[in-house]
Structure 1
Amino acid sequence: MSQDQSILVLGAGELGMAVLRSLARRAAEQPTVSLAVLVRASTIASSDPVKQKDIAGLRSLGIELVPGDLAEQSVDALAEVFRRFDTVISCTGFVGGRGVQVKIAQAVLAAEVGRYVPWQFGVDYDAIGRGSPQDLFDEQLDVRDLLRSQDRTEWVIVSTGMFTSFLFEPSFGVVDLANRTVRALGSWDTAVTITTAADIGSLTAEIVFAEPRIAREVVYVAGDTVTYRQVADAVDSLLNLNVHREEWSVPQLKSELAREPGNSLRKYRAVFAQGVGVAWDKNETFNARRGIPVSGMEAWMRENL
């Protein structure tokens, strides 16, 4: 990417910061590239020490702070913000609520941004299809339909699988170290693709700066693809445990979701237990084909558990 390029990242949470740091490293080598991040005006002006530290860190990387609120601003207002950027990368997650991902996509298209990387850092929504246990996924398909229905704005979707840390999140229930238990979603042979936030950040930067330019494509990346049996075996061997193993079947998880239909964790468990669109061969990924090193499950465990 040798031409002038202005990039706007939406959100400065865990993934947004990982993407920004990686983009900043690349931009430091290419003075024609400029970086900005959209954050709430209240965050920029906050006296909270943690937020002040985050803001100072962004400024130290030479990143412009653009005030904005994805949930509150209209499509037209967001389009005005987006219009001066060549590339927009959404790292907002689902925290903005229903309809926000579609609104962002509509604003990007209205602004005729050159290229858009939507918040699709996760599973293969095309393979899962509509009507899955996680109803928020239907909106992700709405975004894909919007992007595919036009040809003025290029788009790149980065499929990453589950964030590695989420697989080990106690509330998710798969790895329950407090009770020396590992649970399989679906079956012990069901697989899941996982990638760390840091690797998603660096791989997204590689994809954005790739030559020849990547556009109108779903790009698959992976830190690892493992079965729940492999997860349990790794916990046993690396942590010197003999964990209790419990299988949560698809019918069981669907029944639990039916009793508590608003429970987000139950929605995710049911989706991943079905095993469709949640795992792919890591040897066929963008990072594997280009020989880019990533952190696998056992490496993450050694660093974090």
Structure 2
Amino acid sequence: MNNTSILILGAGELGMPVIQNIAKKAKNYNNVTVTVLLRETTINTEDTNKKKNIMELKEWGVELLPGDLSALSSELIAIFKNYDTIISCTGYGSGAGGFQLKLANAVLNAGVKRYFPWQFGVDFEVIGRGSAQDLFDEQLDVRELLRSQSATKWVIISTGMFTSYLFEPFFGILDLKNKSINAIGGWDTAVTLTTPDDIGRLTAEIFFTEPPIENEIVYIAGDTITYGQLADIAELLSGQKYNRTLSDMTEITNDLKNDPTNFVKKYRSIFGAGRGVSWPLEKTFNFQNGIQTTSAAQWAKDNIDWKSFNK
């Protein structure tokens, strides 16, 4: 893994821990460089939080390259061809409608040796085409494109949902204030969860594994739990009884029909259906390599002030 140039796209909620862990492990090798592509406005920002991120990137020994992923494909190819590996941490926020395919095509046309596309999430192939979340079809297009060629080796990392999302009010499952939980699909419906920090650590481990992992989908997980187990965790940590309600798939489907462009309702439909959104821990890279990850219960214990909701 020596003499390798790595370009990472994006430095957000997932990008920062990926960059930190890749940069840290890169120091164990000879002539491994880590560069992050950021908008020039971000590099020269006056925003306090973004400034803090830029300072951290510099402290980690990462090079900052000004560039915009919304540029023409020819401009992206000119940038990408200078790197051996590209890791995309762009997220969906960079835009739908061909954005992921544009990146993948630019990577292939630039002759990049290895590509980690933005596929951190669910098992798109099990979910299949035409799902409630229309962004997923493009993820399948990217997979088909990568499989249709052999010059660029690729690695897809399936992570499930960010652990914190399950505890966020916007997702409409756990209501800490009113001590209630609304299961979607069924109480035995399972979801795989991983924290961004664990994804960052494991991405670095997967990246530097010898012999190199190539043309594979690698599954990782912090935890896989059912909505019933989530309710048990909330009751155990709060010491309070939670009111349990169930939204079955009929209700969830009707909700989406009445509000078809609602991003959260699309995701509730996917995670309520329960297909392709969970896998057993035994199947994961971290389990098979004895790497500890953060469970849902541990995350909730460390990050939620349960006493404040018991007043």
Tell me the CA shift for residue 56 of structure 1: 1.4
Equivalent-residue separation in structure 2 for 1:176 and 1:248 (angstroms): 14
Equivalent position of 1:213 in the other structure: 212
Residue 152 of structure 2 is aligned to residue 180 of structure 1: no
**What are the residue-to-residue correspondences of 1:20-39 with 2, within 5 Å?**
20-39=19-38
Instruction: Return the letter of the residue paired with 1:256.
Output: D
Equivalent-residue separation in structure 1 for 2:160 and 2:289 (angstroms): 19
2:76 to 78, 82, 88: 78
**Matched residue SS, 1:88:** strand
Tell me the CA shift for residue 162 of structure 1: 0.6
Equivalent-residue separation in structure 1 for 2:138 and 2:168 (angstroms): 25
Residue 47 of structure 2 is aligned to residue 48 of structure 1: yes
Tell me the CA shift for residue 12 of structure 1: 0.3
Cα deviation code 1:136-173 (max 9, x no counterpart): 11111111111111111000000000110111111001
Equivalent position of 1:9 in the other structure: 8
Tell me the CA shift for residue 50 of structure 1: 2.3
Instruction: Return the letter of the residue paired with 1:172.
Output: F
Equivalent-residue separation in structure 1 for 2:243 and 2:36 (angstroms): 45
Equivalent-residue separation in structure 2 for 1:38 and 1:245 (angstroms): 45
Equivalent-residue separation in structure 1 for 2:164 and 2:297 (angstroms): 12
Equivalent-residue separation in structure 2 for 1:241 and 1:197 (angstroms): 29
For structure 1, the residue ranges without an aligned partner over 5 or more in a row are none
Tell me the CA shift for residue 259 of structure 1: 0.5
**Matched residue SS, 1:194:** strand
Residue 114 of structure 2 is aligned to residue 115 of structure 1: yes
Tell me the CA shift for residue 181 of structure 1: 1.0
**What are the residue-to-residue correspondences of 1:49-198 with 2, within 5 Å?**
49-70=48-69, 72-98=70-96, 99-198=98-197
Equivalent position of 2:238 in the other structure: 239
Instruction: Return the letter of the residue paired with 1:257.
Output: L
Instruction: Return the letter of the residue paired with 2:88.
Output: S
Equivalent position of 2:309 in the other structure: none
Cα deviation code 1:232-255 (max 9, x no counterpart): 001001111211111111111111
Tell me the CA shift for residue 49 of structure 1: 2.5
The worse-fitting range, judged by mean Cα deviation, of 72-81 and 131-140 is 72-81
Tell me the CA shift for residue 48 of structure 1: 2.2
Instruction: Return the letter of the residue paired with 1:295.
Output: T
Equivalent-residue separation in structure 1 for 2:188 and 2:54 (angstroms): 44
Equivalent-residue separation in structure 2 for 1:183 and 1:209 (angstroms): 41
Equivalent-residue separation in structure 1 for 2:60 and 2:287 (angstroms): 29
Equivalent-residue separation in structure 1 for 2:171 and 2:105 (angstroms): 33
**Matched residue SS, 1:179:** coil
Instruction: Return the letter of the residue paired with 1:220.
Output: Y
Equivalent position of 1:261 in the other structure: 260
Instruction: Return the letter of the residue paired with 2:107.
Output: V
Equivalent-residue separation in structure 2 for 1:285 and 1:49 (angstroms): 37
**Matched residue SS, 1:193:** strand
Equivalent-residue separation in structure 1 for 2:255 and 2:46 (angstroms): 43
Equivalent-residue separation in structure 2 for 1:284 and 1:268 (angstroms): 24
**Matched residue SS, 1:204:** helix
Equivalent position of 2:293 in the other structure: 294
Equivalent-residue separation in structure 2 for 1:155 and 1:177 (angstroms): 41
How many aligned positions are there? 303
The worse-fitting range, judged by mean Cα deviation, of 72-81 and 13-22 is 72-81
Instruction: Return the letter of the residue paired with 2:67.
Output: G
**Matched residue SS, 1:38:** strand
Instruction: Return the letter of the residue paired with 2:135.
Output: L
Equivalent-residue separation in structure 2 for 1:94 and 1:7 (angstroms): 22
TM-score (structure 2 length as normaliser): 0.96
Equivalent-residue separation in structure 1 for 2:292 and 2:196 (angstroms): 14
Percent identical pairs in the alignment equals: 51
For structure 2, the residue ranges without an aligned partner over 5 or more in a row are 305-311
Equivalent-residue separation in structure 2 for 1:51 and 1:195 (angstroms): 24
TM-score (structure 1 length as normaliser): 0.98
Instruction: Return the letter of the residue paired with 1:73.
Output: A
